Amino acid sequence: MKHYCEQCKVEISKKVYDYSKKNYGKALCRKCQKDSNLTLDNKKKDLKKKEEPNGLSKKESFFTESMIKGRIAETLIEELFLRLNYNVFRYGMENTVPGIMNLLKGVRGDVANDIRRMPDFVVQNPNTNKVYFVEVKFRTSEEFKFKDLPKNYPYENCYFIIVSKKHIKCITYEELKEGKEVSPKSQNYLGKRKEFELEKEVIIEFCNFAVKFFENV
């Protein structure tokens, strides 16, 4: 009994016929089997792209989402200080050279690391005229420790403001170096920093904004 490929109608051996029926559910020659495999691989790739937003990989999607959350947190803190008549200057290189963080994505080296480590803001207290480096971080876990800092972090006079779903807390580089940390149970709220002389009512208002923006994160 002769066997034929169901697609191209070429004659095939019984061995090829039996293999094809077992693995493909129909009689295919070797060429059509190979074409069928390619079609299946392409379908899997298309399905994967549909599962990933805008065809982004999980790593790219995570990077984009983290960047958006970070920018929202930065804007909250910037507006908070502006509300209290602080002078606020965007300091990070991403503000000086738009798009540079995307350019540096995946790039390693001393220059790239120095750019990434630049604080987000310089803020000036209107009452004392003192200026401070401020780095803003969004943390769903409400945790921030010394080990979370880049190696050899150069801005040892920086203040880190940690925005979470419920609270806005603050800790200095020196405090982190001493072993102190931000956690859900820690009491290092931004409103307690005497250096900034902030109004607690305003901070509470902006905490409510944070809850509104990040409640589904």
Q: How many Å apart are CA 46 and CA 52, to the nearest integer?
A: 10
Q: List, for residues 62-71, the tens digit of each pLDDT value.
A: 667 777 888 8
Span 148-167, mean pLDDT? 91
Where are any strands of DSSP class E within 35-186? Answer: 87-90, 121-124, 131-138, 158-163, 168-172
How many domains are contained in the chain? 2
Q: Containing domain of residue 8, as a range? A: 3-51
Give the predicted TM-score (pTM) of the model.
0.64
List of residues 6+ apart from 54 with CB closer than 8 A: none
Residues 130 and 168 in one domain: yes
Residues 96 and 191 in one domain: yes
Q: How many Å apart are CA 188 and CA 143, to the nearest integer?
A: 12
CB-based contact 187:177 (threshold 8 Å): no
Q: How many Å apart are CA 123 and CA 190, to the nearest integer?
A: 14
Q: How many Å apart are CA 9 and CA 186, to the nearest integer?
A: 75
Residues 133 and 42 in one domain: no
Q: Could you say which of 13, 31, 51 is where a domain stops?
A: 51
Q: Which of 94-98, 157-161, 192-196 has the lowest average pLDDT?
A: 94-98
What mean pLDDT is reported for the chain?
81
Residues 108 and 144 in one domain: yes
Residues 118 and 137 in one domain: yes
Residues 104 and 147 in one domain: yes
How much of the chain, in percent, has pLDDT values that exceed 90?
35
Residues 80 and 173 in one domain: yes
Residues 88 and 157 in one domain: yes
Residue 213 region by backbone torsions, left for phi larger than 0, else alpha for psi between -120 and 50, else beta: alpha
Which amino acid is it at 26? K
Asked if pLDDT for residue 121 goes beyond 60, the answer is yes
Q: Which CATH number characterizes residue 156's domain?
A: 3.40.1350
Residues 15 and 65 in one domain: no
Residues 26 and 62 in one domain: no
Residues 15 and 119 in one domain: no
Residues 76 and 43 in one domain: no
Q: How many Å apart are CA 76 and CA 68, to the nearest integer?
A: 13
C-alpha separations of 147 from 34, 36, 46, 144, 188 in Å: 51, 51, 40, 8, 18
Query: What pLDDT does residue 54 have?
Result: 55
Mutual angle of helices 30-51 and 14-24, in 10-degree steps: 20
Q: How many Å apart are CA 119 and CA 134, to the nearest integer?
A: 6
